[in-house]
Structure 1
Amino acid sequence: MTDQDESHDARAGVAFTDIYVDDDIVDRVSDTLRSTRYVKGERVERFEAAFADRCGTDHAVGVNSGTAALLLSMQSAGIGPGDEVFVPGHTFFASVSPVLHLGATPVFVDVDPRTCTMDPDDLAAKAERAENPTAVVPVHLYGQLADLDAILDVADDHDLTVVEDACQAHFATRDGHTAGASGDAGAFSFYPSKNMTVGGDGGMLVTDDADLATRARRLRDHGRDEEGVHREVGLNYRMSEVSAAVGREQLDRVQEWNDARAAAAARYDGLLAAVDGVETPTVADGAQHVYHLYVVQVPAADRDPLRDYLAARDIETGVHYETPAHQHPAVAERVGDVSLPRTEALCDRIVSLPMHPRIAPEDVETVCAAVASYFEGKQGGVAESEPDDPADSGTTESDPEEPTDTSPARTDGGREESQ
């Protein structure tokens, strides 16, 4: 959506997210394209410096995805075959795939069902039993930091490398920690739906470790050092100059957008507080949530019917994530049977409601009214997916010659989310 499109007609439904582009960003991209310097230039360096300053770290390394930032964080820290790496069971697949790619073994940790982040007590118990505990990847999920104080204590006790997955938590804070800045390295994603983007895929690695940063810069460019010598085998994970130009412009605005997300979340919280059957997000004491996603919990039996009910009213939703990380076939064949009861129960209960910085108050009210209507109708035994009148959903009669989507607003967040 561009800044010329200011319409928020409730009859048109409520979109799950909103990609925003204005003239300043277009101008930065145009200037970069006219420069004809598209890779390995000053724009990436300036973006890296500004991002490191914003995080409070000594170094930042721009890459082409959040997944690359995670992979290079781990690889540059020396994680490899035989190492055991602790990861939460509830996360996007990219928190786990770099561990597997490096030949290390993921050890899955259950979550705190209130915050949906890694449970430090389960981490401590599994670290005690591990044969070769090497690293931990606390995931700051949905925009809220994991309990870093407790996790860092466990890491100190077992000499674990800490790689923060901050791909969904740009500049969130908790107990004095800023996302990405307290571990050995932190990884951010700039996928288009994130709190800030680079106009496509992109990522950033941050660290205070000069040696780790130097190795990450080498590995992102085919293992090549500043003299052009290939010191080790690397691949191409470079960030483009165009991406950096967009990112630098967005960096100046991300706090404003985070504040807007928090205001929308507060409105959701207030309107849903009285809805029996809905549990709104829990924000930990001392935490500043940046609401990459607004995720509620409902009874498992109601999750899919609720999504269908909202879809029939042209309200988009997602599920982040329906399949626990340890149950994906690519992981299960490597780790075998793993039981994480809280993670598995959580994955059946979560629903992501529309959230973005430009969501209008009336759109939040529309969503909440529909959620309340579903649960009120269920109590009365009359909840139905389809509205009484097609006009109520903002849809029109479809052309019989055109294919139709039976639930156009029910997006699959697990497939749409990336980093």
Structure 2
Amino acid sequence: MDGVTPAKVTPVPMLDFSRQFATIREEVLAAVETVLTSQRFILGPEVESFERSAALSCGVPHAIGCASGTDALWLAMAAAGVGPGDAVVTSPFSFFATVSSILRCGARPVLADIDPQTFNLSPQTVGELLRGGETIKAVLPVHLYGQCADWDAFSTLREEFGVTLVEDAAQAFGAEWRGVKAGALGASAAFSFYPTKNLAAVGDAGLVTTSSESIDERVRSLRAHGMKRRYYHDEVGWNSRLDTIQAAVLEVKLKYLPEGNRKRRALAAGYAEMFAAAGLTGKGIVLPFEDSRGTHVYHQYVIRAPKRDALRAFLAERKIGTEVYYPLSLHQQVSLVDLGYKTGDFPESERAAEEVLALPMYPELRSDEQEIVVGAIAEFFR
């Protein structure tokens, strides 16, 4: 361990669920007990209550709970009119569900490279596709790491080419673009409440938001096997209902989300100061870029680092948690070889996959723990 003895090591976890739970334990347990007492486990009143609260938080009239963020992506696209034979442009630098959900719609994923500063889908590369004559039904920008994609540029493309914009907002609950919340920018949007998210369930859960009554109605039908009336199936949907217990927990946590996001932003500022003080930005470390037109919620704090894998191993020896989101661009996944892309097609995505490193980030993270993280990185590059 390069001379570092266990006695000198202070672990810094990548994420510690127990810290938030300790502060809201009684509220969460009371909410769960209410559901257990009611015995209404599927689409109980807590689901409707959470949907209303989430819609208000996102600034939209409609929010529909579902079983997962992956299902939310499919529901958001299908209800917005994406179907078999359509082409949907998205990013190769995202979680697998971004592309697999397009395939689930029966549509064809078309990939375009990312902006190297934000890691988000580049509207310039999407524009090149559209102007090159590619027939595209929809564009699915990902608000990666908690920062909205460049919605000014995507809105211009929507006006010019008539494409439908659907938000992959899985990592961005509470983020904003010019004062408009993620979830209220596109025709529809998908959120994930996987336990690592900034708004986290105690299992899988997701949400679709929209300003459209027709999309709202269709999502509610599709999530319940295509039913609008019980046992009358107007189309083939899926079983993707939000469990009542998950909704109850999420409504408790939603109350604390604005302060949690504020703390994340403060921690990000703290990291930036510490990296600068350590002189690390001149050694190839690239800190997150924050677009001044939006509000980043730092679901993840992701740096670029030379010798990323060696650095990660060095930090792991010191019991400092890190993660790589994502180590392989989607076009390089074995299961997606039929999309017809090859290594070299998306150089910015591929370079990001070799360099990105997510550092510990959650509202309960302490500044002394951040100092340990930055100090260890400085030691590695000494």
Match of 1:363 among 369, 374, 381: 369
CA RMSD of aligned residues (A): 1.4
Q: Does 1:256 find its partner at 2:254?
A: no
Q: How far 1:109 sits from its partner (Å)?
A: 1.1
Give the distance between the partners of 1:41 and 1:311, measured in 2 at CA. Answer: 43
Which residue number corresponds to residue 285 of structure 2? 278
Which residue number corresponds to residue 165 of structure 2? 162
Give the distance between the partners of 1:40 and 1:298, measured in 2 at CA. Answer: 45
Give TM-score scaled by structure 1 length: 0.85
Amino acid at match of 2:292: D
Q: Deviation digits for residues 48-107 of structure 1, max 9, x if unmatched?
A: 011001111110000011111110011112212221101012111111111112221111
Give the distance between the partners of 1:292 and 1:185, measured in 2 at CA. Answer: 21
Which residue number corresponds to residue 217 of structure 2? 214
User: Would you say the 8 A contact 1:106–1:335 is kept in 2?
Assistant: no
Give the distance between the partners of 1:104 and 1:296, measured in 2 at CA. Answer: 33
Amino acid at match of 1:83: D
Q: Does 1:66 find its partner at 2:69?
A: yes
2:63 is paired with a residue whose SS is strand
Provide structure 1 residue ranges, at least 5 long, that are not aligned to the other structure: 1-8, 377-419
Q: Does 1:13 find its partner at 2:11?
A: yes
Against the structure 1 CA distance between its residues 118 and 336, is the aligned structure 2 distance closer, same or farther, given a 3 Å change threshold?
closer
User: Would you say the 8 A contact 1:310–1:316 is kept in 2?
Assistant: yes
Q: How does 1:25-40 map to 2 (within 5 A)?
A: 25-40=28-43
Give the distance between the partners of 1:346 and 1:255, measured in 2 at CA. Answer: 30
Q: Does 1:142 find its partner at 2:134?
A: no
Q: How far 1:228 sits from its partner (Å)?
A: 4.0
Amino acid at match of 2:128: A
Q: How far 1:198 sits from its partner (Å)?
A: 2.0
Match of 2:327 among 317, 322, 342: 322
Which residue number corresponds to residue 126 of structure 1? 129
Give TM-score scaled by structure 2 length: 0.93
What percent of counterpart residues are identical?
A: 39
Give the total of aligned pairs. Answer: 366
Q: Does 1:308 find its partner at 2:306?
A: no
Which residue number corresponds to residue 352 of structure 1? 358
User: Would you say the 8 A contact 2:64–2:219 is kept in 1?
Assistant: yes
Give the distance between the partners of 2:327 and 2:240, measured in 1 at CA. Answer: 29
Q: Which moved more, 1:72-81 or 1:309-318?
A: 72-81
Match of 2:186 among 183, 186, 197: 183
Q: How far 1:346 sits from its partner (Å)?
A: 1.2
Which residue number corresponds to residue 333 of structure 1? 338
Provide structure 2 residue ranges, at least 5 long, that are not aligned to the other structure: 1-6
Q: How far 1:189 sits from its partner (Å)?
A: 0.5
Q: How far 1:11 sits from its partner (Å)?
A: 4.0
User: Would you say the 8 A contact 1:84–1:130 is kept in 2?
Assistant: no
Q: Deviation digits for residues 306-352 of structure 1, max 9, x if unmatched?
A: 00110110101110001001111222223333701111111111111
Give the distance between the partners of 1:198 and 1:305, measured in 2 at CA. Answer: 33
Amino acid at match of 1:197: A
Give the distance between the partners of 2:364 and 2:341, measured in 1 at CA. Answer: 43
Amino acid at match of 1:340: F
Amino acid at match of 1:13: P
